[in-house]
A = this chain, B = another copy of it.
Amino acid sequence: MKLHTYYRSSASYRVRIALGLKQLNAEQAYTHLTRNGGEQFGAGFDALNPQHLLPVLEEDGLTLNQSLAIIEYLDETRPASPLLPADAAGRERVRALSQAIACEIHPLNNLRVLKYLSETLKVTPEQKNAWYRHWVKLGLDALEATLARDAETGRFCHGDMPTMADCCLIPQLYNARRFECDLSGYPTILRIEEACAGLPAFAAARPEAQPDAE
């Protein structure tokens, strides 16, 4: 199993956490997202993923992309340490929490969007940072409200074991801190973050802990 990753790619970070939680080993291959205009646009990468996005997981003759789809695949093919609950309602909730991050926050703040804002729309650095923080705040406000309200929230986003939702939450918080977003209004989220930080899988997946970290 080979994971194409970049230390700061938060979609890769999600899959690194999932691999760790499931105690699976994957060889890592590094794609530098900013060097030489982005190695993900190189000829070799195009065959792996025409979307030019990380992560990509090669395994068993398959070339898999999209982080949440990869995590579900790992969960279906290696049922030990499940990352989704057994009941349909719980699965819906974990997927919805994951998508509240992966569809509503992260797509607006990834590298290519920030580049378009700066290079094409010529926004100022202040406007770019305000954009970033606007979408993080909107998304985390809603997530905090949901997590604080729902009886299903436990030590982690869903119950007392980490799920795919936690795999999405922690990289999003890492990004939010990089852009100095104010997280003080999110006590439930911060409590869950602390619970995750205590687990080796989350610690090992951190960007700073990766061999390609700069």
Q: Mark A65-84, 1 if CB is under 8 A from B, else 0.
A: 11011101100110000000
Chain B residues whose CB sits within 8 angstroms of the CB of A91 once the complex forms: 69, 72-73, 76
Chain B residues whose CB sits within 8 angstroms of the CB of A72 once the complex forms: 91-92, 95
A29 on interface, CB distance cutoff 8 Å:
no
In whole angstroms, how far apart are the Cα atoms of A109 and B138 in the complex? 16
Q: Which residue of B lies closest to A84 (CB)?
A: B72
Chain B residues whose CB sits within 8 angstroms of the CB of A102 once the complex forms: 99, 103
A residues contacting B by CB (< 8 A) are 50-53, 62, 64-66, 68-70, 72-73, 76-77, 88-89, 91-93, 95-96, 98-100, 102-104, 106-108, 112-113, 116, 120-121, 123, 127, 130-131, 134, 138-139, 141-142, 145-146, 149
Q: Please name 12 pairs of A and B residues whose Cβ atoms are closer than 8 Å in the assembled complex, sorted by A.
A: A50-B141, A51-B142, A51-B146, A65-B100, A69-B93, A70-B96, A103-B103, A103-B106, A103-B107, A107-B107, A121-B121, A121-B131
